[in-house]
Amino acid sequence: MMKVSVAVVFYNEEKVIEDLLASIESQFENANPEEFEFIFIDNNSTDQSFRFVKSWVENWSSRFKVQLIARSQNSLSLARTDALNKANGDWVAFIDADSQIVEGWPRLVKKTLEGLPDDAAVVGGASSYTGEASWHDYAKSLA
């Protein structure tokens, strides 16, 4: 069974992080916990972002494997490297903290990745704030 590690690096995202967390709850409600894990990397936030995510992790970790890592310095590249080092999945999906998971995303990602070779790389994604014809349209065609 293929597993996807969903990684979110955040820094001072208190105004938007709760929307992302709500979209994760909504879209992963019926997902298989053996197929997904979540890794949140706080990139040394100075606002309430860490507190929001920590509270969410405490509730959500009874359903999925969830890791919350606090960094002592702000570095996006090092934070992403931390996420890659902590990931247990066959694939890692980086989600921006100011995004929201679109409807059907877990199923569509799994379906897209299943047919790819092991050494493939996928760049791009679907966010609720983009109206462009993009990966999102392609993903919908797989449904």
| Distance (Å, whole) CA 64 – CA 14 | 23
pLDDT at 128: 42
Which DSSP category does 85 fall into? H
pLDDT in tens, 63-82: 999 999 999 988 999 999 99
Sheet containing 36-42: order of strands: 65-70, 36-42, 4-10, 91-94
Question: Taking Cα atoms as reference points, which of 98, 6, 4, 82 lies closest to residue 42?
Answer: 82
End-to-end distance of the chain based on CA atoms, in angstroms?
20
The per-residue pLDDT of the chain, averaged, comes to 85
For the ranges 78-82, 115-119, 136-140, the lowest mean pLDDT is seen at 136-140
Which DSSP category does 104 fall into? T
